[in-house]
Structure 1
Amino acid sequence: MKLLEVNPSKGEVKLRVEDEEDLWTLYTILRKGDLVRAKTVRSIAKGGSKEKIPMTLTIKVSDIEFQPFAQVLRIRGTVVEGPDRFGLKGSSHAIRAYPGKELTIIRENGSEDIVRKVKAASMKKPKVAVLSVDTDDYALAIVRGQGIEWVLEGSMQIPGKLDENREAIVKANVKELAKKVLEELNKRGIQNVVVVGPGFFKERVADELRAMGLNVKVDTVSSGDRVGVLEAIKKGSLGDVIKDLESVKALEVIEEAIKRIAKDRRDVCYGLEDCLNASVMGAIEKLVISDRLLHHENDEIREKAIQTIENAEKTRAEVIIVPRDTEAGERLRAFGDVVGLLRFEAF
């Protein structure tokens, strides 16, 4: 995310989206009621037909549509500024944000929070590929800040050891899998992949990927599917780089919260009301919250979620927002979409 201009007196921040991770950051920054100004295209009726005309519009945000790992973020709202000759004020419009898009966010109560989050997002964001594989299954995932993107999954369909064609089938399947992995990584500009799995089969796949020019690290986990990928993340197979990924940190916080709850400890909170109360006390050390609450259709729930985040950030808590459809987001649902680790016993 590139910070282009800041006008603190007007609460304006102009920025440029540079990649799809920035779309997730933008989604976590925007609030209902913010103003967003950008160049856009609007269909205008002319002589019985409609013509798409480029123009600059400012909308008051009412809804934001986000899909994890997508290339477009749709920001919907009501037009508050635009060319007078088209009479668009008060009408609905959606501004599309995508890599390369420039837009301005205007917030009534100041731009400091926006600037801070944009600056944090401007740092290079790592992406790590992990392939879990055995003679039965495989799963390829890209681990990034917003979560785990499941790219490929399937069966190796390798016959038993007594089949006389087994070796030929193994070679063909390994080569085909390696080709698929290379295509997916090339799309995303990734050259490094961690190959994990039980036994020695993973080594054959790793050798094939090396022969195709990829940098490969190998480690052992118990299975060759999604479970293997998650096990690799948990045990640290992906190296030091994953320590900086919020998606990994979120899973670690959730695991720790589960352990504390199982031991009936009182230095943990979950559910919006308890976490809000803990944030008021300045008790939260780490908070993981789903975007489901941050952009909830119920105004009261949404405002409580925002207040919980703001309170936690004021007391220097680590706050991680996760997409609802990711691994961390799905696990959060059992806890009311928010969980926190506390500095002291608060309940």
Structure 2
Amino acid sequence: MRIEWIDKDKVKIRVENEKDLFTLYKIINPSDILSGYDYRTIEFEKGKEKKKVWIKIEVERVKFSEYGDSLRINGKILEASEIVVGKYHTFDIRIGSEIILEKKFTKFDIEELEKATKKRKEIYVLSLDNRNIALAKISDRIEIIIEEEVNIPKEDLNRDSIYKQKLSNVIKKIEEKPEILVIVGPVFYPDYFEEYIREKLGEDIKILKFRVSQGGINGVIEFSKRKEYLDTLKEYEILELNKIIDDFIKSMLNGMVVMGLEKVKEYAEIGNIDYLLISEDFYKKMKEDGKINIILNIIDMVEKTKGKIYFIYKNIENYELINKFGIVAKIKYKI
């Protein structure tokens, strides 16, 4: 996500990936003001025509589309650059959309926007084929750490051991063992050398493998432009959230948790929440039922007492446990 603050109550937003859509879903609520360009039927003296116009609405409903690939935000039209037909408009927000959001931004809203725009995690990528081996780090840019030329004759009986030696030289350039290593390459290369790479870096390392058309630097660049790169970024977030849920389960055994809306609200009111976990489905249901202010008030109370808030998505381990209650929390002390 890219943002540009116009003033303290107004921000310009560009959506860059699917995760940005859920960020907007979390922070846009009824009575907020949204504006941008969209197609709309306008009136002329001699008839009507559909064209792209600037529209400002007061938000009434926010929901995901049927397939979850866009955010539909409906509301009453406040202003428009042309005389438009009808009193209401629905923005269909997708990747690439640009909007301006006006509201009294809470600490929660600002933190969600900051998380969506912060520098991406560094990802180590090992790119292999029969000619080159490259090691790179990808974050907001690509940093090539090393590229080793291979070019071993096919008839060389020691081909496999020579290749592994060259691969070992490249792996040694990894300064600190990463949580996730991505291996890319054509045909069998990622699968064939996975076991050897684990021997060098440790069996417990999480490895993701993807096919690209070639190895070396070109393979790194190809991977960085594909959807699999964004999938890898999600894996980092999943790892972090899984650690939080593991801590929550351990805290359950010690009686240091509360579960369900009423209990969580009760403990939030006295400032006794260390962190809050909210399931994706529960948040959506509260929003669709017009009860989102209950959740926002709890979030506000938790943040004022230095507690943390985590949203738990469906692809997280033990999601069913959190979603059973919808909202749960680890407490600071027993009462």
Shorter-chain TM-score: which interval? 0.5 to 0.7
Identical positions, percent: 24
2:246 aligned partner: 255
Contact map agreement 1:267 1:344 (CA 8 A) in 2: yes
Given the alignment of the two structures, is residue 4 of structure 1 paired with residue 14 of structure 2, yes or no?
A: no
Partner residue of 2:193 out of 207, 216, 232: 207
Aligned-partner residue type, residue 91 of structure 2: I
Contact map agreement 2:279 2:319 (CA 8 A) in 1: yes
Aligned-partner residue type, residue 319 of structure 1: I
Q: Aligned partners of 1:282 and 1:253: how far apart in 2?
A: 20
Structure 2: runs of 5+ lacking an equivalent:
125-179, 206-231
Q: Aligned partners of 2:96 and 2:48: how far apart in 1?
A: 27
Contact map agreement 2:13 2:98 (CA 8 A) in 1: yes
Given the alignment of the two structures, is residue 284 of structure 1 paired with residue 284 of structure 2, yes or no?
A: no
1:98 aligned partner: 94
Q: Aligned partners of 2:281 and 2:289: how far apart in 1?
A: 11
Change (3 A) 1:243 1:5: closer
2:326 aligned partner: 337
Change (3 A) 1:325 1:71: same
1:101-149 deviations in Å (ceiling 9; x for gaps): 2211111x446653443223211334979xxxxxxxxxxxxxxxxxxxx
Q: What is the root-mean-square deviation in Å for CA atoms of aligned residues?
A: 4.3
1:124 aligned partner: 119
Contact map agreement 1:287 1:319 (CA 8 A) in 2: yes
Given the alignment of the two structures, is residue 267 of structure 1 paired with residue 256 of structure 2, yes or no?
A: yes
Contact map agreement 1:270 1:340 (CA 8 A) in 2: yes
Q: Aligned partners of 2:67 and 2:297: how far apart in 1?
A: 27
Q: How much does 1:30 deviate?
A: 1.5
Q: Aligned partners of 1:51 and 1:217: how far apart in 2?
A: 63
The normalised TM-score by structure 2 is 0.60
Q: How much does 1:50 deviate?
A: 7.0
SS at match of 1:86: coil
Q: How much does 1:68 deviate?
A: 11
Q: Aligned partners of 2:319 and 2:281: how far apart in 1?
A: 9
SS at match of 1:332: helix
Change (3 A) 1:328 1:82: farther
2:14 aligned partner: 16
1:142 aligned partner: none
Pairs within 5 Å for 1:55-94: 55-66=53-64, 71-83=69-81, 85-89=83-87, 91=88, 93-94=89-90
Q: Aligned partners of 2:66 and 2:243: how far apart in 1?
A: 20
Q: How much does 1:315 deviate?
A: 1.7
Q: How much does 1:96 deviate?
A: 2.1
Given the alignment of the two structures, is residue 310 of structure 1 paired with residue 310 of structure 2, yes or no?
A: no
1:72-100 deviations in Å (ceiling 9; x for gaps): 322222322224622533x2x22122333
Residues matched between the structures, number: 249
Q: Aligned partners of 1:217 and 1:18: how far apart in 2?
A: 34
Aligned-partner residue type, residue 299 of structure 1: G
Pairs within 5 Å for 1:100-115: 100-107=96-103, 109-110=104-105, 113-115=108-110
1:234 aligned partner: none
Change (3 A) 1:124 1:50: farther
**Which has the bigger relative contact order, CA under 8 A and spacing at least 6?**
1
Q: Which has the larger radius of gyration?
A: 2
